[in-house]
Amino acid sequence: MDFALIWSSMPLLLKGAGLTIAISAIALIFGIVFGTVFALIRMSPIKPLAAFGVAYIEIIRGTPLLAQIFLFFYGLPYVFQQAFDLPLNFNPVVAGTAILAINSSAYVAEIIRSGIQSIARGQTEASLSLGFTPTDTLRYIVLPQAFRRVIPPLLNEATTLLKNSSLLSTIMIVELVRVGQMITSRTYKPFEMYLAVGFLYLCMTIPMSIMAARIEKRWKVG
């Protein structure tokens, strides 16, 4: 075991971990925003709109993230080149963050939907009887309670998103796994490098898992 290699490589690995955290955090924020929108679309009383929401969620959840990355990053430029004879080049970091956000939004949508449906219908009826509009009822009564209930599963989604960001190494984003690959190709010591990469992922994910468990226990979310 070459601990000296691990120690000397740690600055580069930590830089890659920093990019991993940044991409995952931005993707999660947009995933929550878009996921909330699609949760409301899926629950819409307008059937075509609800069907669109269901289709979006099922397609994203039902296809591998790696296939989505390749389709978005490599497939779209090819389609634009063939159909319109126009070059389309994505910045890898921007594209990777967007793909993760889109993927996460489908899972967040189901989390938000379950949170909204867990709120007793009597509260909505009482709010409407007091003169609240449906929009105000959703904004001031339902969503605040729903978001509190879904914080633990959202933290679990953040953990999953952080781990899934490792797939962005396939489009040459120099995040944590890609840094490990680059050092391995130079040193020919994969065991040490991927052991260090795995350790850094644990350092990032375990605190979130502990936080989710504590919040769930404190608020007795079930």
| CATH assignment at residue 132 | 1.10.3720.10
What is the pLDDT at residue 47? 93
Residue matched to tokens 């944590």: 176
What is the pLDDT at residue 222? 45
Contact status, residue 183 vs residue 12, Cβ threshold 8 Å:
yes
Rounded Cα gap, residues 28 and 35, in angstroms: 10
Query: Is 91 a domain residue?
Result: yes
What is the pLDDT at residue 103? 96
Rounded Cα gap, residues 114 and 45, in angstroms: 17
What is the pLDDT at residue 143? 81
What is the pLDDT at residue 150? 86
Contact status, residue 77 vs residue 88, Cβ threshold 8 Å:
yes
Higher pLDDT, 175 or 220: 175
Q: Residue 169 above 80 pLDDT?
A: yes
State the total domains in the chain: 1
57-82 pLDDT, tens digit per residue, is 999 999 999 999 999 999 888 888 88
pTM here?
Answer: 0.89
Q: What is the mean pLDDT of the chain?
A: 89
Find the length of the chain.
222
Tell me how crowded residue 177 is: count the other CB atoms within 10 A of its CB: 23
Query: What is the enclosing helix (H) or strand (E) of 12?
Result: helix 3-42
Query: Is 29 a domain residue?
Result: yes
* CA 154, 160, 162, 167 torsion-angle sign: negative
Query: Is 70 a domain residue?
Result: yes
Query: Domain span at residue 146?
Result: 22-173
